[in-house]
Each structure stands twice: as structure tokens, then as C-alpha cells.
Amino acid sequence: MKLELLQHTGSFKPRGAFNRILAAQAGGDPAPARAGVIAASGGNHGAAVAFAARALGIAAEIYVPEATPAAKRARIESYGAHLVAVGADYAAALAACRARQAETGALDVHAYDDPDVIAGQGTAGRAFEQDAPDLTHVLVAAGGGGLLAGVAAWYSGGAQVIGVEPEACPTLHAARAAGRPVPVQTGGIAADSLGARQAGANVFPIVAAHAAALVLVPDAAIEVARRLLWDRIRVLAEPGGATALAALLCGAFVPPEGARVGVLVCGGNTGSLPE
Amino acid sequence: MKLELLQHTGSFKPRGAFNRILAAQAGGDPAPARAGVIAASGGNHGAAVAFAARALGIAAEIYVPEATPAAKRARIESYGAHLVAVGADYAAALAACRARQAETGALDVHAYDDPDVIAGQGTAGRAFEQDAPDLTHVLVAAGGGGLLAGVAAWYSGGAQVIGVEPEACPTLHAARAAGRPVPVQTGGIAADSLGARQAGANVFPIVAAHAAALVLVPDAAIEVARRLLWDRIRVLAEPGGATALAALLCGAFVPPEGARVGVLVCGGNTGSLPE
């Protein structure tokens, strides 16, 4: 298991946030220094962008939906970001964020559908391969798919990367069925972190080219995985963070004889212990 | 930080349990195979002995005080051990355990005051030094003191090892003041794992010879440490597991200029998130 929930801000998300901002600065983009960075997020990405911006000494503005819990808002603000809560869902917050970005000229850090964000998330695959070079399969949860795309691209030609989605958030399954990203309804216990309503235009072809399989898991299996992680190894994951393991437990992914399976536990921003 | 709470059974305790049983078997002691192992415990040690016994294919009998919570009992039984709940506190359970041991001839695995248990716990120091060879100071919580004794003996002549006790469980401080182990009152939020009422006769001279310092921390600092571990790195420790870090946060231990400080997070068997 790769415990990405132990990263700063409680998820893998700083990988992509740092890579996006640092790549822009390295490329001579004056926006971060001049106008800071801006992002829309349901929570984890916003905290990561705020954290990265503070570490790099630049301003950050984070747009979240109005329903975002107080604890997530407080965390984002604790990193010194300016927080704006607006709209009924992520899409509405994103629209407001884009309008604001057009005014300020800040560097936009998309939560998943940006090549530098995807490449940054992919460093989780690089680190996993360094830690465990003999894996044959790697299970990765997918919401918008930035982490899955990055990790699948990293392992291309090596370990097989399997994307895992909750049955209640079948964003990439819907895109695969349609041959392109399409809007879907999302819900269930992992929607706070995996509930992106449409796969990214940059994400989708990378996943299609490099992920070996996509599987679906029921919410009940996610709860079982979450309880097992806590009961047996004292790792407290959020539902989205336990989703990859759920595929192994419920049989959505059955490892072939001799497989060595890696599981990415991607986030721990939860407010409760498993029941 | 050395995250010993991620070990099987949620604490460092299997190190000592395995070493005690395997050392007896290696020395030709027929007791484990003939009559199994027996131990008294407030919880973490009992789970570790049960886990080790199952892994080694031998029977285990675990004595716990009657006040032991159902969750801890269930965990011990989940490893296949025979559980006996008896007496008002650890001392009473230990007395019953010893009487039973005299009848059955099982191998007694003391929770802290056995040379092989102490040496086993010391392997946590060995692993920490391998992971982080340049530490100058290592903070370790102490209850009965088995972990502190083992780690301090390991580092002898190397990094300075500082023992940390809750103000409400000053077992080793009392022994040091008296020049020998003496009974003390124990209480407070970490008493379930650090509440041994008397330092061990084997533990005390090892700590006196090899620990660089002993410090006390208030319960409030333990709560702050527990919250920080959860808020910032998504590590959910029990109060005893956060006690070593508390010394750094409240100033009970002030690192000298240039110090590189290691903190052992020793257990995660908690039923609640920090407030």
C-alpha cells in the first residue's frame, strides 16, 4: 500500500498543485508572482493549492461550493488562502472561479484536467515503483481521473494500472461507454472526493491509452475496506481513499496467479471512524 | 517519526511478544508447544501476544481487568486467544494470570518487565536508526518502561533517548526519586496504555543506565499532540501514542541547536478522533 493520505493536507493532491505552479514559474509565466493562483475544489485540491502557494510564497484564492463543511473551509484558510464559498456544487464554484480568474489573471490550477497537474499526480506512481519495484498491478481510485491518468502514464509498459470507481460515481465508465467525456450523476459515500461529474478532456485519452482496466465497486465494499484499513493497520482513510482497496476485497478485481498487487490509499480527510 | 501504530495489532507490542516466545523456543523451552502462552494486559500487550501466538501456531490465554472495553476484548479474541476478564485493575488480572500459569505451565509473557520482551521492543530503535541514521535525540513514551528500556539500550552511546511520562502516570519518575521501583497512583487520558503502577525490576536499571533524560508532560499537551498528528499528517494515535510528541510541543524537551529529533508514535488503539 502506498499511503498518500499521510502527505501534507491529507491527500496526494499537493503533487499536482506544486507541479502546476512550479512548471508555470519555470516556464517564465509571470501570473503566479503577479496575481497568485486560483482554484475551484470540493476540498482536497483546494487545501493542496493553498498549501503549495503558501510554501512558494504566493497568494491563493480558493472557490468551494456553499455546502463545503466548516472543517474543510477552516483547513484551507489555515494555509493562508482567501476562501470564497459560492454555488450549489463543484461546477458552480468552478464557473465562479473562472470568471474571477478572467478578472485577476491568476494562474488557474485545475483539480484534475491539466497536463501539469496530471504529471504531478503521476509522481505518486514513480514513488510507489521506487518503494516496491516488483508490483505487477496497481489499483488507483478515480474521480476526475487526474491521479489515475498520471499513475497509468508513469507505469505505461510496466505494472498494469487498474482504475477503480464507485458505482455511484461512474465518471470514467460513462466516458468510456460514450467514447468521450460526458456528464454523469454522482453520489454515494465517496462523492466528496470522487464525485467529479465529467472526466477531463486531457484525462480521458491518457486513461484510455494507459490504464489496463476500469472497475466499479459498491459503496458497501468501500465501507468494508475503510473498516479493514482502520481495524488492521490503523490507517484511517476517507471513503475515496479506501476505494482502490475495495476492488480487491469485493472481487471487482481478481489478481491473476502470482500477481503482486499495489494499492494506493489516496486520502484521509474524514471526520469519522468507521462504524 | 516512527509510526509504530501501523504495526499489526496497532502498537509496537508484537516486537516484544514475538521475541519472548521465539527466544524461549530457540532455547529449547517446551512450555509454548506443550501449554501455550499466557499474559496479563490492559489491552495492547494482550492483543500482541494473541497475534504472535496465532502466527506461531500455539495457544494463548489472556487475562484482562473486568473494565477492559468490549472492543479490546473482541480484538484479542479475534486472534483466537482464550480471554479471561477478572479483577478491578491490571495488578489483579496479573495476580490471577500468575496463579493460572502455575497450574498450566504456559510460558508467561510479561507486558514489560522481561529481558526478552525489552530486547524485542528495542528492535523499534534498531529499525528507527536504519530509517533515520542521523538522529541526535529520540523521544519515547514510557508506561511500564519496556519500550523505553529497549530503545535506550539499543541507542546506547548513539542518539540520546528521552523517556516521556504523563504527569498523571509518573511511574519511572517515582522510581528514579526513590532509587528503586515503587508503587504510584496512575490516571489521566493515557492511563489505558501508560498506566503501569510500578516500574519493572528489570526495566528500571536499564532506563537508569541508558536513557539520557526523563520528562513529564501534562494531559493537555498530549491532547494537543494527538490533534496535531491527526490534523497535519492524518496519523490517529491513542493518547499514549502521542505522549512522546507532546514533550516537544509543550517544551518539556527543548532540542539543542542543530538537533535532529526522532519521535516514536507507539500506538493507535483509540476509539475516537481528537476533538
- Choose the closest CB to B6 out of A234, A269, A271: A234
**What separation in angstroms does the CA of A242 have from each of A126, A166, A194, A237?**
21, 11, 11, 6
What is the pLDDT, as a whole number, of residue B43? 83
Grid coordinates in use for A118?
496530471
Question: Which residues of chain A lie closer than 8 angstroms to B273, CB-CB?
Answer: 271-273
Topology (CATH level 3) of domain A115-265: Rossmann fold (3.40.50)
Contacts for A69 with CB less than 8 Å, ≥ 6 apart: A43, A271
What is the pLDDT, as a whole number, of residue A71? 80
What is the pLDDT, as a whole number, of residue A47? 96
What is the pLDDT, as a whole number, of residue B68? 85
B72: closest chain A residue by CA: A231
B34-67 exposure pattern, b = at least 16 Cβ within 10 A, e = fewer: ebbbbbbbbbbbbbbbbbbbeebebbbbbbbbee
Phi, psi of A246 (to 5 degrees): -55, -35
Q: Does B8 touch chain A (CB under 8 A)?
A: yes
Q: Does A232 touch chain B (CB under 8 A)?
A: yes
Burial of B15 (0-12, 13-18, 19+ CB in 10 A): buried
Question: Which residues of chain A lie closer than 8 angstroms to B231, CB-CB?
Answer: 75
What is the pLDDT, as a whole number, of residue B227? 96
Domain boundaries defined on chain B: 12-108, 115-265
Q: What distance in Å separates the CA atoms of residue A229 and residue A237, rounded to the nearest whole number?
A: 7
User: What count of residues does chain A have?
Assistant: 275
Q: What is the pLDDT of residues B156-194, one digit of tens each?
A: 999 999 999 999 999 999 999 999 999 999 999 999 889
> What does pTM read for this prediction?
0.89
Grid coordinates in use for B97?
494470570
The DSSP 8-state label assigned to residue A267 in this structure reads B
Mean pLDDT in each 10-residue stretch from start to end of chain A (275 residues)? 96 98 97 97 92 98 90 91 93 94 97 97 98 98 97 97 98 96 94 90 97 98 97 94 98 97 95 85
Question: Which residues of chain B lie closer than 8 angstroms to A233, CB-CB?
Answer: 6, 8
Which of helix, strand or coil describes residue B64?
A: strand
Phi, psi of A165 (to 5 degrees): -120, 145
Instruction: Report, as ranges of residue numbers, the positions in chain B whose pLDDT lies below 50.
Output: none
What is the pLDDT, as a whole number, of residue A192? 85
What is the pLDDT, as a whole number, of residue B42? 77
How many Cβ atoms sit within 10 Å of the Cβ of residue A139? 27
Contacts for A193 with CB less than 8 Å, ≥ 6 apart: A11, A42, A43, A44, A143, A238, A239, A240, A241, A267, A269
- SS3 letters for A162-195? EEEEECCCCHHHHHHHHCCCCCCCCCCCCHHHHC
Beta bridge partners of A261: A137
**Of the CATH numbers 3.40.50.1100, 3.40.50.10190, 3.40.50.300, 3.30.300.20, which one belongs to the domain with range A12-108?**
3.40.50.1100
Grid coordinates in use for B153?
539500550
Sign of CA dihedral B245, B249, B252, B258: positive
Cα dihedral: B88, B89, B95, B96 (round 10)? 50
CA distance A271 to chain B (A): 8
Q: Do A236 and B234 touch (CB under 8 A)?
A: yes
Contacts for B70 with CB less than 8 Å, ≥ 6 apart: none
What is the pLDDT, as a whole number, of residue A218? 98
> Is the CB of residue B86 less than 8 Å from the CB of residue B63?
yes
Q: What is the pLDDT of residues B217-258, one digit of tens each?
A: 999 999 999 999 999 899 999 999 999 999 999 999 999 999
Domains A12-108 and A115-265 alike in fold: yes
Outline where DSSP puts E strands in B159-265: 160-166, 213-217, 261-265
Selected residues 140-199 of chain B with any CB under 8 Å from a CB in chain A: none
Burial of B123 (0-12, 13-18, 19+ CB in 10 A): middle
What is the pLDDT, as a whole number, of residue B62? 98
